[in-house]
Amino acid sequence: MFSTQTVIQKSGIQFGTSGARGLVTQFTPEVCAAFTHAFVASLKRSYPVKRMAIAIDNRPSSPAIAQACIAALMQRGIESVYYGVIPTPALAYSAMQDGIPCIMVTGSHIPFDRNGLKFYTPDGEITKADEQAILIVNQEFTSLADLPSLSVNTDAAKQYAERYTSLFDVDLLQGKRIGIYEHSSAGRDIYSQLFSSLGAEVISLERSDEFVPIDTEAVSEVDKAKAKTWSKQYHLDAIFSTDGDGDRPLVADENGEWLRGDILGVLCAQAMQMQGLAVPVSCNTVIETIPQFTKVSRTKIGSPYVIAEFAELAKQYQAISGFEANGGYLLGSDVEINGKILKALPTRDAVLPFIMLLSTAKNSGITALVNALPARYTHSDRIQNFATAKSLVIMEMGKSDPDSLISQVGFNDASVEDVDVTDGLRLTLSNQTIFHLRPSGNAPELRCYAEASSFEQAQGIVNQVLSQIQQM
């Protein structure tokens, strides 16, 4: 017999900002079973669990992990429905409509030698409290027998596409040329048909048989160059892509310039006439300058914190949502679009912000919408393979003596005006620039965010800070 608590503790797998993450080698069949049994046991305190949905991303390790999770469900007498490779929001939406929990096998944007599990109750993405409930459950289970074969149900993929195509006329995107940077995105087989059904001419770009870890917050120079080349070569009106599991969008305008995720979020929120917003502390401060948004609540980084804030916003506002700097958009309430109701989906979604952007930019173009916003620019990047212990030392230094830290990273002509420790260390300087340091919650990385009055200045701040930290 195995104990879920013991197996999980020994695995080394931890919950980060979005699910449980670890090395593929740590996700043994017994570890996958332990997480599944613990999730079921935690659910049964509030929900009857008779069916559960499972889906995966395109990582080589994902099918075997799904098999182990399904085998564990079989041990508990729970029916499973396997949706194959689909975006995380597609799985979450379908499961919510069916009133059942689900598990998504994905490591999102992290390298292919890692993977993860995301858990959803029948009401949506789990909270931090739910994560703790999974970790403290002490459920016994037996070793898995042979792993079951996988048979794909296509209903969730169809339902996800219909969620958006049903809102608009079939000629919404008539005359538009949209490039889809497919790489290994879990939604790559859905997006082309979705946008084509709304009238767009779709060009497939760079599908990959190998897993590509796209980080929508730290777009590579190679991908920046690709977008500009594709835009000119194919005369594109927009380019759409996502991270590995399709919950974070990567969108380029008609010039092949990738939009920052929080700017995309602002434009989507404006288009949907949102009243209350919950956004992580790392998002662009341009959000607070938009009069339409009656309330903007700042949270820790991670979708569970954004979702938790929805409960507070719902006490005063009807139209509520949130988004992250990575572009993922979370719809916290039902909203009316074109006289039709779009159901709440309190988990990150990549399609919603893109399709709302396209509907708004139908006549003006995307660049004009972006240029109409106040001029505040953000940039972010990260140091990979940077020990968390080192990051924490730097955090403590900045909290105890922030002026000393900014001096050490090369800001000798400015002083610290505000210190925000909501999540990591966010310093507002006297020259009205911002830089924000934060260790990753699920990988040995230190991320730096910056905000300034020009993109070049924001980019320079990030490069300077990360370079100086590596030398410290």
pLDDT at 316: 96
Q: What's the pLDDT score for residue 23? A: 95
Give the pLDDT confidence score for residue 17 in this predicted structure. Answer: 73
Tens-place pLDDT, residues 222-275: 999 999 999 999 999 999 999 999 999 999 999 999 999 999 999 999 999 999
* Residue range 101-140, pLDDT digits in tens: 999 999 988 888 999 999 999 999 998 899 999 999 999 9
* pLDDT value at residue 217: 82
Give all domains of the chain, ordered by start, each with its CATH number: 2-156 (3.40.120.10), 175-371 (3.40.120.10), 377-471 (3.30.310.50)
Q: What percent of the chain has pLDDT over 90?
A: 86
pLDDT at residue 344, as a whole number: 96
Separation between Cα atoms, residue 302 and residue 143, nearest integer Å = 34
Instruction: Give the 3-state secondary structure percentages of the chain, helix then strand then coil, rounded to 5.
Output: 35, 25, 40
pLDDT tier for residue 442 given thresholds of 50, 70 and 90: low
CA neighbours within 13 Å on the CB side: how many for 355?
27
pLDDT per residue over 286-317, tens digit each? 999 999 999 999 999 989 999 999 999 999 99
pLDDT in tens, 15-30: 987 789 999 999 999 9
CB contact set of 410 (below 8 Å; sequence gap of 6+): 464, 465, 468
Instruction: Specify the pLDDT at position 472.
Output: 80
The answer on pLDDT for 9 being more than 80 is: yes
Q: Kindly list the catalytic residues.
A: 108
pLDDT, one tens digit per residue, over 53-93 is 999 999 999 999 999 999 999 999 999 999 999 999 999 99
What is the residue-wise DSSP string for 401-454?
Answer: -HHHHHHHTT-TT--EEEEE-SSSEEEEETTS-EEEEEE-SSSSEEEEEEEESS
User: Two tokens at 304?
Assistant: 């569970």
Tokens of 89: 């929001």
Query: Is the pLDDT higher at 217 or at 65?
Result: 65
* pLDDT(446) > 80: yes
Rounded Cα gap, residues 322 and 331, in angstroms: 7
Residue 463 has pLDDT above 80, yes or no: yes
Model confidence at 443: pLDDT above 80:
no
Q: What is the mean pLDDT of residues 397-405?
A: 92
Burial pattern 28-41, b for ≥16 Cβ within 10 A else e, equals bbbbbbbbbbbbbb
What average pLDDT score do residues 34-41 get? 97
Question: How far apart are alpha carbons 375 and 33 in whole angstroms?
Answer: 50
β-pair partners for 181: 205
What single-letter DSSP state applies at residue 428? E
| Global confidence as pTM | 0.91
Q: Compute the mean pLDDT over every residue in the chain, rounded to the nearest whole number.
A: 94
Q: Give the Cβ contact number of residue 419 at 10 Å.
A: 12
